[in-house]
Amino acid sequence: MFTPTYVAQQIINGVNLGSMYALIAIGLTMVYGLLRLINFAHGDLLMLGAYLGLLLVSATFMPLILTLFIPMLVIGFLGILVERLAYRPLRGAPEVTMLITSLAVSSIIENSMVMTVTAQPRAFNLPAGVNRLHTVAGVSFSTLDALTVGLSVALMAALTLYVRNTRTGIAMRAAAENLRAARLMGIDINRVVMVAFFLGSMLAAAAGWLWAAKYSTVEPFMGFLPGLKAFVAAVIGGIGVIPGAVLGGYLLGFAEIFFVGFLPPAFSGYRDAFVFALLLLILLIRPNGILGASTEERA
Amino acid sequence: MSRAMEGVRRVNINGATRNLLVGCAYVALLATLLWLAQSTLNNYYLRILAVIGINIILTVSLNLTNGFAGDFSLGIAAFMSIGAYTAALLSLPVAMKTASFPGLPAWLQTTSIPFLPATIVGGAMAAAAAVVVGVPVLRLRGHYLAVATLGLMVIVRVIANNWQDVTRGARGINGIPPLSNIWWAFGWAALTIYVVWMVVHSPYGRAMIAIREDWLAAQARGVNVLRTRLLAFVLSAFFAGVAGSLYAHLITAITPSSFSFVITFNIVVMLVVGGMGSITGSVIGAVLLTLLPEGLRQVETALAAGGTPLYGLSQIVIALLAALVMIFRRQGLLGGREIRLPGMTER
Amino acid sequence: MRRTWAFLSLLLAVSLVLAGCPAPVMTPAAAPAATEAPAQETAPAGEPIKIGALYGVTGGMSSIDGPGLNGFKLAAKQINEAGGINGRMVEVIAIDGKSDQTATTSATTELIEVHKVVAIGGLNDSTFALAAGPIAQAAGIPFVTAGATLPTLPEQIGDYFFMAPFGDDAQAYAIADYAFNELGARSAYMLVDQAYDFTTALARFFKERWEANGGTIVLEDTYNSGDTDFSAQIARVKALDPQPDVLFISAIPNEAGITTKQFREAGLTQPIISGDGFDTPLIAEVAGELADDVYYSTHASLDNEAEIVQSFVAAYEAEYGRRPENAFAALGYDTMNLIADAIRRAGSTEPAAIRDALAATQGFQGVTGVISYPEGQRKPIKSVTIIRVQDGVYSFVTEIQP
- Residue type at position C91: E
Which H helix or E strand runs over A151?
helix A143-165
Cα–Cα distance measured from residue B300 to residue B306, given in angstroms and rounded to the nearest whole number: 10
Q: What is the dihedral of CA C242, C248, C252, C253, to 10 degrees?
A: 90
CATH assignment at residue C185? 3.40.50.2300
| Least confident segment among A69-78, B307-316, C164-173 | B307-316
Nearest neighbour of C102 by CB, restricted to B44, B251, B315: B251
H-helix segments, chain B: 2-40, 43-62, 76-91, 94-100, 106-109, 115-137, 143-162, 164-167, 182-200, 203-220, 225-251, 261-274, 279-305, 313-328
The pLDDT score that the predictor gives to residue C127 is: 86
H-helix segments, C140-239: 153-157, 168-177, 197-213, 231-238
Q: Give the whole-number percent of chain A exceeding pLDDT 70.
A: 96
Does B49 contact C at CB distance below 8 Å?
no
What DSSP assignment string belongs to C23-55?
A: HHH--TTTS-STTT-GGGGTSPP-PPEEEEEEE
Cβ atoms of B248 and B79 closer than 8 Å = no
Q: Give the whole-number percent of chain B exceeding pLDDT 90.
A: 29
pLDDT-based confidence at A232, cuts 50/70/90? confident
Cβ atoms of C34 and C89 closer than 8 Å = no
Q: How many CB atoms lie within 10 A of CB C319?
A: 14
Query: What values do phi and psi take at C83, rounded to 5?
Result: 105, 5
The pLDDT score that the predictor gives to residue C13 is: 55
| Least confident segment among A78-82, C15-19, C199-203 | C15-19
Q: List the one residue out of C228, C166, C200, C169 whose CA is nearest residue C374.
A: C166
Q: How many CB atoms lie within 10 A of CB B16?
A: 12
Residues of chain B contacting residue C14, judged by C-beta atoms under 8 Å apart: 292
Domain shared by C65 and C175, yes or no: no
Indicate the angle between helix axes A224-237 and A271-285, nearest 10 degrees.
Answer: 30
pLDDT-based confidence at A241, cuts 50/70/90? confident
Cβ atoms of B176 and B101 closer than 8 Å = no
Kind of pairing between the strands at C384-390 and C393-400 = antiparallel
The pLDDT score that the predictor gives to residue C14 is: 55
Q: How many angstroms away from the CA of C306 is the closest CA of chain B?
A: 31
Question: Which of C62, C258, C264 to mutate: most A Cβ within 10 Å?
Answer: C62
Does B136 contact C at CB distance below 8 Å?
no
Q: In this predicted model, which residue has the larger pLDDT, A290 or C87? A: C87
Nearest neighbour of C222 by CB, restricted to A142, A256, A269: A269
pLDDT tens digits, one per residue of C316-342: 999 999 889 888 999 999 999 999 999
Nearest neighbour of C57 by CB, restricted to B284, B311, B333: B311
Does B335 contact C at CB distance below 8 Å?
yes
Cα–Cα distance measured from residue C396 to residue C383, given in angstroms and rounded to the nearest whole number: 13
Which H helix or E strand runs over A149?
helix A143-165
Give, as one character, the DSSP assignment of residue B113: -
The pLDDT score that the predictor gives to residue B149 is: 85
Q: How many CB atoms lie within 10 A of CB C391?
A: 11
Q: Give the total residue count for chain B.
A: 347
Mean pLDDT of chain C: 85
Mean pLDDT of C72-77: 95
Q: How many CB atoms lie within 10 A of CB A162?
A: 14
Residues of chain A contacting residue C280, judged by C-beta atoms under 8 Å apart: 121
Nearest neighbour of B170 by CB, restricted to C8, C139, C194: C194
Indicate the angle between helix axes B76-91 and B225-251, nearest 10 degrees.
Answer: 50
Q: How many angstroms away from the CA of B54 is the closest CA of chain A?
A: 21
Cα–Cα distance measured from residue A148 to residue C287, given in angstroms and rounded to the nearest whole number: 19
Does B11 contact C at CB distance below 8 Å?
no
pLDDT-based confidence at C34, cuts 50/70/90? very low
Q: Do B299 and C114 touch (CB under 8 A)?
A: no
Instruction: State yes or no: cis peptide before A264, omega within 30 of 0.
Output: no
Q: In this predicted model, which residue has the larger pLDDT, C67 or C265? A: C67
Domain shared by C267 and C393, yes or no: yes
Q: Do A279 and B155 touch (CB under 8 A)?
A: no
Q: Is the residue at C103 inside a domain?
A: yes
Residues of chain A contacting residue C323, judged by C-beta atoms under 8 Å apart: none
Query: What values do phi and psi take at B174, rounded to 5?
Result: -130, 175
- Is the per-residue pLDDT at B240 higher than 90? yes
Report the Cα A294 to chain-centroid distance in Å.
Answer: 24
Cα–Cα distance measured from residue C355 to residue C159, given in angstroms and rounded to the nearest whole number: 8
pLDDT tens digits, one per residue of A182-213: 888 888 888 889 999 999 999 999 999 999 98
Cα end-to-end span (Å), chain A: 46
Chains in contact with B, where contact means 3 or more Cβ–Cβ distances below 8 Å, are A, C
pLDDT-based confidence at C44, cuts 50/70/90? very low
Find residue C364's DSSP bridge partners.
C371
Give residue limits of the domains in chain B. Answer: 41-259
Cα–Cα distance measured from residue C126 to residue C64, given in angstroms and rounded to the nearest whole number: 13
Q: Give the whole-number percent of chain C exceeding pLDDT 70.
A: 89
- Residue type at position A225: L
Burial of A145 (0-12, 13-18, 19+ CB in 10 A): buried
The pLDDT score that the predictor gives to residue A21 is: 93
The pLDDT score that the predictor gives to residue C178 is: 93
Cβ atoms of B88 and B248 closer than 8 Å = yes
Q: Give the whole-number percent of chain B exceeding pLDDT 70.
A: 93
The pLDDT score that the predictor gives to residue C28 is: 38
Signed CA dihedral, B213, B216, B221, B226: sign only: positive
Q: Give the structural domain span for C252.
A: 169-298+385-400
Plot region of B278 (φ>0 → left; ψ -120 to 50 → alpha; else → beta) = beta
Question: Which of B330, B331, B333 to mutate: most A Cβ within 10 Å?
Answer: B330
Indicate the angle between helix axes B279-305 and C2-20, nearest 10 degrees.
Answer: 40
Q: List the one residue out of A165, A208, A168 whose CA is nearest residue A192.
A: A168
Q: Give, in order, the Cα–Cα distances in Å from C127 to each of B173, B280, B294, C96, C167.
A: 10, 35, 21, 16, 15
Cα–Cα distance measured from residue C17 to residue C20, given in angstroms and rounded to the nearest whole number: 5
Mean pLDDT of B259-264: 86
Cβ atoms of C164 and C380 closer than 8 Å = yes
Q: In this predicted model, which residue has the larger pLDDT, C139 or A97? A: C139
pLDDT tens digits, one per residue of A256-268: 888 887 877 777 7
Q: Do C224 and B161 touch (CB under 8 A)?
A: yes
Q: Do B255 and C197 touch (CB under 8 A)?
A: yes
Q: Do B320 and A269 touch (CB under 8 A)?
A: no
Mean pLDDT of C268-277: 92
Q: How many angstroms away from the CA of C141 is the closest CA of chain A?
A: 31
Cα–Cα distance measured from residue A196 to residue A199, given in angstroms and rounded to the nearest whole number: 5
Q: How many CB atoms lie within 10 A of CB B110?
A: 11
Find residue C182's DSSP bridge partners.
none
Domain shared by C133 and C59, yes or no: yes
Mean pLDDT of chain A: 85
Cβ atoms of C330 and C368 closer than 8 Å = yes
The pLDDT score that the predictor gives to residue A125 is: 79
Find residue C221's DSSP bridge partners.
C191
Q: How many CB atoms lie within 10 A of CB A93?
A: 18
Mean pLDDT of C178-206: 90
Domain shared by C275 and C194, yes or no: yes
Q: How many CB atoms lie within 10 A of CB B37?
A: 14
Residues 6+ apart with CB under 8 A from C109: B43, B44, B47, C135
Instruction: Quote the number of domains for chain C.
Output: 2
Give residue limits of the domains in chain A. Answer: 4-122+137-285
Residues of chain B contacting residue A36, judged by C-beta atoms under 8 Å apart: 142-143
Q: Do B251 and C95 touch (CB under 8 A)?
A: no
CATH of span A4-122+137-285? 1.10.3470
Q: Do C239 and A3 touch (CB under 8 A)?
A: yes
pLDDT tens digits, one per residue of B82-130: 999 999 999 998 888 877 787 788 888 888 899 999 999 999 999 999 9
Mean pLDDT of chain B: 85
- Is the per-residue pLDDT at C24 higher than 60? no
Cβ atoms of C234 and B296 closer than 8 Å = no
The pLDDT score that the predictor gives to residue B187 is: 93
H-helix segments, A2-133: 4-35, 42-59, 64-82, 95-117
Q: In this predicted model, which residue has the larger pLDDT, B80 or C8? A: B80
- Is the per-residue pLDDT at C19 higher than 60? no
Domain shared by C273 and C396, yes or no: yes
Cα–Cα distance measured from residue C193 to residue C203, given in angstroms and rounded to the nearest whole number: 9
- Is the per-residue pLDDT at B272 higher than 50? yes
Which H helix or E strand runs over C163?
strand C161-163
Find residue A217's DSSP bridge partners.
A123
Which H helix or E strand runs over C390?
strand C384-390
Could you say which residues from 232 to 271 on chain B have a Cβ atom under 8 Å away from some Cβ of chain C? 247, 250-258, 262
What DSSP assignment string belongs to C216-261?
A: EEEEEEEE-BTB---HHHHHHHHT-SSPPSEEEEE--HHHHHHHHH
Residues of chain C contacting residue B331, judged by C-beta atoms under 8 Å apart: none
- Residue type at position A51: Y
The pLDDT score that the predictor gives to residue B15 is: 66
Residues of chain A contacting residue C103, judged by C-beta atoms under 8 Å apart: none
The pLDDT score that the predictor gives to residue B344 is: 60
Domain shared by C117 and C197, yes or no: no
Q: Give, in order, the Cα–Cα distances in Å from C50 to each of C19, C31, C99, C140.
A: 21, 11, 23, 15
